[in-house]
Amino acid sequence: MSSSPTDVLVDVTMPQMGVSVAEGTVVGWRVEPGDRIEAEATICEISTDKIDTEVPSPASGVVTEILVPVGDTVEVGTVMARIAVSGNGVAPATSAAQPPQPLDGGTAGAPTTETKSSSSAPAGNGHRRYSPVVQRIAAEHGIDLSQVPGTGRGGRVRKQDVLAFVETEEPPLHIESPYRPEPVAPAPAPVVDGGGLSRMRRQIGEHMKRSLDTAATCTTWIEVDMSRVEAARKRLGVTALAFVARASIDAIREHPALNAWLEGDRYTRHTDVNLGIAVSLGDDGLIVPVIPRAHELSVEGLAARVKEIARRARGRELTPDDVQGGTFTITNPGQYGSIMATPIINQPQVAILDFEAVIKRPVVVSDADGNDSIAIRPMTILGLSWDHRALDGALSAQFLATIKRNLENVS
Amino acid sequence: MPTLTYLQAISSALRDELRADDRVLLMGEDIGVFGGAFKVTDGFVDEFGTDRVMDTPLAESGIIGTAIGAAVVGMRPVCEMQFSDFISCGFDQLVNVAGKMHYRQGLAVPITVRLPSGGGFSGGPFHSQNPEAWFMHSPGIKVVAPSTAEDAKGLLHAAIHDPNPVCYMEHKHLYRRVKGEVPSGVFETPFKARVAQPGSDLVVIAYGAMVPVALEAVSDGLDGASVEVLDLRSLVPLDEEAILDSVERCSKVVIVDEANATCAAGAQVAALIAEKGFESLDGPVVRVATPDVPIPFSPPLEAAVLPGVDRVREACRELLAY
Amino acid sequence: MATDMAQVADGGADAAVEHLTVEDRIWLLRAMLLMRGLEERAMSLYRQGRVPGSFYDGYGQEAVSAGAAFAMGPMDRLCILHRDLAAHLIRGVTPARILSQYMGRAAGITQGRDGNVHFGDRKLGCVGMVSMLPDMMLVATGMAMAFKLRGEQRCAMTWFGDGSTSRGDFHEAMNWAGVQKLPVIFVLENNQYAYSTPVDKQYAVDPVERAAAYGFVGVTVDGNDAEAMFEAARAARERALAGEGPTLIEAVTMRMHGHAAHDDMKYVPKEQVEEWRKRDPIERQEKRLRELGVATDELRASVKAEIDAAAEEALAGPMPDPATAVDGVFCVGEAEPLGDGQAPWSGFH
């Protein structure tokens, strides 16, 4: 393997996939010594206790040596291969510790044999930094900064750039939702092999199919008058989702059967509510980061955490630990105006709550004397998909009724 | 409204104060018969007499110390240091007697100390200093620094009316070069900052002679960028609200000090912004200041150290592009 | 070179009798007894750990402040130094407030902002000292300057020590007062030592001679004779009010204790201390009054009772509220000038 005397050698090391992981096994190499590889392209696949994943190349250059053969298990941090970066070439990204890769799909800790995508940083070398004001504006508008082109020094995103980006975005229909429409700029190209579906789409699809094959999935709906929620959320400056989350957690207290796992024959009820919130990543699909111990948070606390995990999800900053341990999931795709859905349960949980658009409708209201009239109220339909192996229709309806009661009595 | 030079505005304030308030007393070297080294008090003895426009012995500590004594028995002395540089001879009286008196004894010391400051005319190390930072750092002393003729008058009236010791930094370079409309009679300019020119892409924060430098620097050559210039006017108290408001809107800051860089007023402004304006920043807080050298005498050396229009413009250009 | 006692102006005490009633003379003794008693009590509290920081006293020098301050009128203004407690007492500061001040309590004159004798009650016309000496000479000169400019019949008095005459502000004040002929009285407390530095390391001439160099009168007085001190101050005040300018009064005395409570004054020869003990100012005044038939024991007892009550009151008072530590740096509103003080001398009534 030749490299010029001016070359810099960059190490490819075994990454740490989760806090408790100490080692990993190489399951496949995509390159041989002498091959050229671009930064960010997958160089090998590894398997750990927590997750199987692809490892992106830390630099663009020529592979000089492979040090860990397929099948070998080594400690986190071990050098597995080396890449020669030419002396007058671009400086390599730091290779000492790979940043942890985010997960796709809804697996909550269950070991799978699926491999996950690796794209985390935007195209280009190194790690983009964002100034305090840019981060603040992005968080306020739920913007994925990796989508924002920068016109500052070295391609830096300036305040003017993120403000301009905000302006060109379509305003969402249901502005409280953490979702945003597909970004105008093309997403970084995911790895595509064969057919028309991206790897991520296929992985999500496999998970969804497996859920439907495993659970006896049914869906029940209930209408909720959101007037008090709308008033309260304006006062507090938070999204309606935070209220739905809190109302659901309170309902789980009365109906603990909804906060459980069913894995084959093993049925576990959880006292902690680790709340998963589904976040759309556009072409990269869906991810469900978890708010651990969500029952300890107030409405404001939940709103802040939802905002934070949505931001991190879009910034591809989630770690494997962030997507594990969920006991109940809420999905909130309401900004396009859809009113009902039949969500698929996030295995191995036993239920998932769907919160769609809040739409003003004419409704019948009765006064204290029983006289009926028509009033205009912001209404929504909450849908609960539930597993008939662990629950039944009555329990599910009661659970929904409790959530409805909680929401319609918000002070 | 008359148009006055900065120097005429100062004279006007002193004259109006002497007329309006019996308690006001001017004290300084060569201010009486000679009319002052810069002619600020030219002709004053004819109207007010040698008692109220006092030619003192050559004794800076004496001037400040006796002014303190006169102030605590009901007078309103306005002392002049012939050059701000000589305040070091009266430092002890100003910092330890005047500055600390109210805190310790509840006894107010309403003195004003006029300090003709700054360089730009080959004055050399002992006639060109900007010593305001020493007094910003001493509790109990207020510090103001006008950049326009109107503020020169308004801030001096306010300083004389203030019941506390006030250092009034009058910039020698501006005496005859700055002109403007100045209201007649007694009026006060508040001890707050002033937006000299509004903007949105970057703010230059400056005071004294650096304000006209900043205005010229941003007037062209920045590709149409919208640059704000904030004139601090008051260093103690420092107008935190105005500074943070400019930073929030503009997100990029250049601070200009004619004083030596280390621990100058701009250093305090930078620390304030870093602590309280962090979330508004879109770039590092940049300072343009005179390096830590005595101000040299020969013109090319002096021009090399004092912040000029080109240096300020270049700093703005770089930060705008960041 | 210590001032030879033989050179001290004689006849000062006799001239005083002319201007002092028996009540006045009792007042002088009372002021000195109160000063000494308070300082002894404060020293005891200091040794009990109840007086923070350092502690200074004017043991053996009581006549210098008692005599001079007694000649000052209610509208006159004083810059009092750290061994001049009697001056504060004569102006009307109460013993309880003084002990509170030493102990850093809220009821102290500075409410805990400055310590020991660094205080001055502005409402009684006293300006509190700073530690840089003799800065207050210039402040007193400035006050006198204002009196003269406004044509007022009043004067200013300031005390300072032998050591401080070596600093520039001594010169600037003496010169300014001399050239402008101001109604200011400079009381130089020559107590032979500035901390451990004896006067022969401090100056080459007797400082009273310097007055002539600045164009005004200098007198040397027995600093341990309260009545001689009074007379010198009274004459100086008369001179000042008549427009004849300043006076330098060199009060010759001896610092009988260390520079502060933490100084054991080993550098002072024992014989010198013994010599001066025989000239104790309180004993001398007491002797005079006993010769006039005054029951000085009763006076002592009443002073002691006053001090006991003051100590009790001061010890019961609270420490200042830490939340107020950053208040009052600036005056907000109107600047109030110094107020008038007590003036017990019969000559003012």
Query: For residue B10, what is the enclosing H or E element?
Result: helix B6-20
Asked whether residue B201 carries a pLDDT value surpassing 50, the answer given is yes
- Residue of chain B nearest C130, judged by CA positions: B97
Res A166 pLDDT > 90: no
Look at residue A118 and tell me if it is in a domain.
yes
Match 């007797």 to its residue by tokens: C206
Give the pLDDT score at A192: 55
- Give backbone dihedrals phi and psi of C49, rounded to 5 degrees, phi first: 80, 15
Show residues of chain A in contact with B280, CB under 8 Å.
132-133
Strand partners, B142: B166
Is C132 in Cβ contact with B96 (below 8 Å)?
Answer: yes
Determine whether the interchain pair B322/A134 forms a contact, defined as Cβ–Cβ distance below 8 Å. Answer: no
- Please report how many Cα atoms fall inside a 13 Å half-sphere around the Cα of residue A133, on the Cβ side: 22
In this predicted structure, the answer to whether residue A110 has a pLDDT above a threshold of 60 is no
Euclidean distance between CA atoms B218 and A37, whole angstroms: 48
Among A98, A114, A133, where does a domain finish? A98
In this structure, the answer to whether residues B21 and B139 fall within a common structural domain is: yes
Compute the count of residue pairs across chains B and C with CB atoms less than 8 Å apart.
142
Dump pLDDT digits (tens) for C215-272.
999 999 999 999 999 999 999 999 999 999 999 999 999 999 999 888 888 899 999 9
If asked whether residues A66 and A124 sit together in one domain, one would say: no
pLDDT of residue B200: 95
- String of DSSP letters for A288-313: --EETTGGG--HHHHHHHHHHHHHHH
pLDDT at A49: 67
Mean pLDDT of chain B: 97
Same domain, residue pair B57 and B116: yes
Give the Cα separation of B102 and B168 in Å (integer): 19
The distance of B141 to chain A (nearest Cα, Å) reads 35
* DSSP state, residue A174: S
Active-site residues of B: which are they?
Answer: 127
Q: Do C142 and B110 touch (CB under 8 A)?
A: no
Contact C128 B103 (CB under 8 A): no
Q: Are residues B210 and B176 in the same domain?
A: no
Contact predicate A252/A258, CB 8 Å = yes
CATH code assigned at A381: 3.30.559.10
What digits encode the pLDDT tens for the residues B97-114? 999 999 999 999 999 999
Contacts of A21 (CB under 8 A, 6+ apart): A48, A49, A50, A76
Q: Is residue A3 part of a domain?
A: no
Do B58 and B98 fall within a single domain?
Answer: yes
Whether residue B15 is found in the same domain as residue B106: yes
From A98, A130, A145, the end of a domain falls on: A98
Beta bridge partners of A10: A83
Task: Let me know whether A314 and A382 are in one domain.
Answer: yes
Chain B nearest C-alpha distance from C140 (Å):
6
**Domain coverage including residue B298:** 194-321
Nearest CA to A320 out of A114, A51, A54 is that of A51
Query: In the listed set B159, B181, B203, which residue is the last one of a domain according to the structure?
Result: B181
* Domain end (from A83, A98, A113): A98
CATH number for the domain spanning B115: value is: 3.40.50.970
Instruction: Kindly state the helix (H) or strand (E) to which residue A329 belongs, with its residue range.
Output: strand A328-331
Residue ranges of alpha helices (H) inside B168-227 are 210-217
Instruction: Enter the pTM of the model.
Output: 0.67
- Nearest C-alpha of chain B: how many angstroms from A138? 12
- Sheet with C156-161: list strands edge to edge: C126-127, C77-79, C156-161, C184-190, C247-252, C217-222
Could you give the CA distance from residue B208 to residue B270 in angstroms, rounded to a whole number?
Answer: 18
φ and ψ at C8, to 5 degrees?
-65, 140
Burial of A384 per CB tally in 10 Å (0-12, 13-18, 19+) = buried
Task: Give the contacts of C320 (CB within 8 A, at least 6 positions apart).
Answer: C104, C105, C106, C111, C112
Which residue, among B117, B69, B112, B75, has the nearest Cα to B265 in the 3D structure? B117
Nearest beta carbon to residue A133 from set B201, B280, B321: B280
Cα(B86)–Cα(B83) distance, rounded to whole angstroms? 6
Residue B48, in any domain of the structure? yes
Name the range with the highest mean pLDDT among A283-287, A331-335, A396-400.
Answer: A396-400
Q: Report yes or no on A1 lying in a domain.
A: no
B142 touches chain C (CB under 8 A): yes
Among residues A270, A275, A387, which one has the least CA distance to residue A324? Answer: A275
CB proximity list for C283: less than 8 A, separation 6 or greater = none
Q: So what's the pLDDT on residue B220?
A: 87
Q: State how far the Cα of C279 lies from the Cα of C192, in Å rounded to an integer.
A: 15
B254 in the same domain as B157: no
Strand B253-260 versus strand B286-290 pairing type: parallel
The reply to whether A85 and A194 lie within a common domain is: no
H helices of A280-368, in order, are: 299-314
Domain count, chain B: 2
pLDDT band at A201 (very low <50, low <70, confident <90, very high): confident
pLDDT value of residue C101: 96
User: What pLDDT shows up at residue C41?
Assistant: 96
Q: Encode B22-47: b = buried (16+ Cβ within 10 Å), e = exposed.
A: ebbbbbbbebbeebbbbebbeebbee
Task: State whether A203 and A111 are in the same domain.
Answer: yes
How far is the C-alpha of A262 from the C-alpha of B314, rounded, in Å?
66
Cα–Cα distance between B264 and A196 in angstroms, integer? 64
Strand partners, B193: none
Answer yes or no: do B156 and B281 share one domain. Answer: no
**Within a domain: residue B146?**
yes
Q: Give the whole-number percent of chain B exceeding pLDDT 90.
A: 98
Do B177 and B314 belong together in one domain? Answer: no
With an 8 Å Cβ cutoff, are B105 and C119 in contact? yes
Residue B277 in contact with residue B248, Cβ under 8 Å? yes
Q: Where are the domains of chain C?
A: 5-91+117-292
How far the first Cα of chain A sits from its last, in Å, is: 71
Query: Which tokens is B27 given?
Result: 């004290």
**Cα C142 from Cα C149, distance rounded (Å):** 10
Give the Cα separation of A272 and A293 in Å (integer).
6
Which residues touch A20 (CB under 8 Å, ≥6 apart)? A49, A50
The shortest CB-CB distance from B66 to any of C77, C109, C141 is to C141
Collapsed DSSP state (helix, strand, coil) of residue C140: helix
Question: In this structure, are B63 and B154 located in the same domain?
Answer: yes
User: What's the pLDDT at A5?
Assistant: 63
Q: Which of C109, C124, C130, C138 to mutate to test the interface with B (most CBs of B within 10 A)?
A: C138
CB contact at 8 A, A84 and A61 = yes
In this complex, which of C119, C140, C334 lies closest to B69 when CB atoms are compared? Answer: C140
The answer to whether residues B271 and B135 belong to one domain is no
Strands C126-127 and C77-79 come out as parallel
Same domain for B143 and B266, yes or no, is: no
Residue type, C228: A
Contacts of A151 in chain B (CB under 8 A): none
Could you give the ipTM of this predicted complex?
0.90
**Do A132 and B321 lie within an 8 Å CB cutoff?**
no
Residue A383, in any domain of the structure: yes
Percent of chain B with pLDDT over 70: 100
**A143 and A30: one domain?**
no
**Measured between CB atoms, does B225 come within 8 Å of chain A?**
no
Q: How many CA atoms lie within 13 A of A307 on its CB side?
A: 21
Q: Residue A23 sits in a domain of what CATH number?
A: 2.40.50.100
Does residue A340 sit in the same domain as residue A286?
yes
What's the CA dihedral at A347, A349, A351, A355 to 10 degrees? -70
Domain of A13 in residue numbering reads as: 8-98
Contacts of B322 in chain A (CB under 8 A): 152-153, 156, 158
Question: Among the three residues B122, B152, B181, which one is the final residue of a domain in this structure?
Answer: B181
β partners of residue B181: B3
Report how far residue A245's alpha carbon sits from residue A255's, in angstroms, rounded to the nearest whole number: 15
Interface membership of B224 toward C (CB under 8 Å): no
Q: Scanning the structure block, which residue is given the tokens 């469900």?
A: A288
Q: Where are the alpha helices (DSSP H) in A142-254?
A: 159-168, 199-214, 227-236, 240-254
B contact test, residue of A136, A156, A158 with most B CBs within 10 A: A158
Confidence label for A170 from pLDDT (cuts 50, 70 and 90): low
Q: What is the pLDDT of residues B50-102, one digit of tens each?
A: 999 999 999 999 999 999 999 999 999 999 999 999 999 999 999 999 999 99
B310: part of which helix (H) or strand (E)?
helix B309-321
Asked whether residue A47 falls in the same domain as residue A154, the answer is no
pLDDT-based confidence at A187, cuts 50/70/90?
Answer: low
Contact C329 B103 (CB under 8 A): yes
Give the tokens for residue C304: 């002691």
In a domain, B187, yes or no: no
CB-based contact A153 B322, cutoff 8 Å:
yes
Residue A3 φ then ψ, to 5°:
-145, 150
pLDDT for position A47: 85
Task: Give A305's strand partners.
Answer: none
Name the band, by pLDDT with cuts 50, 70 and 90, for residue A100: very low
* pLDDT: which is higher, C6 or A223: A223
Asked if omega into C134 is within 30° of 0 (cis), the reply is: yes
CATH number of the domain at C5-91+117-292, out of 3.40.50.970, 3.40.50.1820, 3.40.50.300, 3.40.50.2000?
3.40.50.970
Q: Does A266 touch chain B (CB under 8 A)?
A: no
Closest CA to A303 of A107, A182, A180, A140: A140
Indicate whether A401 and A322 sit together in one domain: yes
Best of C76, C164, C171, C331 to disrupt the B interface (most B CBs within 10 Å) is C331
Are residues A263 and A110 in contact, defined by beta-carbon separation less than 8 angstroms? yes
Instruction: Give CA–CA dist B258/B243, Å, rounded.
Output: 19
Pair (B38, B161) in one structural domain: yes
Mean pLDDT of A340-345: 93
Whether C contacts B, i.e. 3 or more CB pairs less than 8 A apart, is yes
pLDDT at residue A122 greater than cutoff 50? no
Is the model's pLDDT at A101 over the cut of 50?
no
* Interface check B282 vs A, CB under 8 A: yes
Q: What is the pLDDT of residues A276-330, one digit of tens each?
A: 999 887 767 788 999 999 999 999 999 999 989 888 888 888 888 888 899 999 9
Helical axes A227-236 vs A393-408, angle rounded to 10°: 50
Q: Both tokens of residue A130?
A: 């964002």
Enter the DSSP assignment of B96.
Answer: I
Residue B208 falls within a domain, yes or no? yes
CB nearest A132 (choices: B281, B321, B322):
B281
- Identify the domain boundary among B181, B207, B235: B181
Look at chain A and report how many structural domains it folds into.
Answer: 2
B144 close to B265: Cβ distance less than 8 angstroms: no
Instruction: Give the nearest partner residue to C328 out of B93, B106, B109, using CB atoms.
Output: B106
Which stretches of B252-308 are DSSP H helices?
265-276, 299-305
Do A259 and A225 share a structural domain? yes
- The pLDDT score that the predictor gives to residue A4 is 62
Residues A27 and A117 in one domain: no
Buried b (16+ CB within 10 A) or exposed e, B191-227: bebbebbebebbbbbbbbbbbbbbbebbeeebeebeb
Determine the Cα–Cα distance for residues C138 and C169; give it in Å rounded to an integer.
7
Q: Which residue stretches of chain C have pLDDT < 50? A: 1-10
Window 7-66 of B: residues touching C by CB (8 A cutoff) are 25, 51-52, 56-57, 59, 61-62, 64-66
Q: By three-state DSSP, how is residue A382 classified? A: strand
CATH of residue B243's domain is: 3.40.50.920
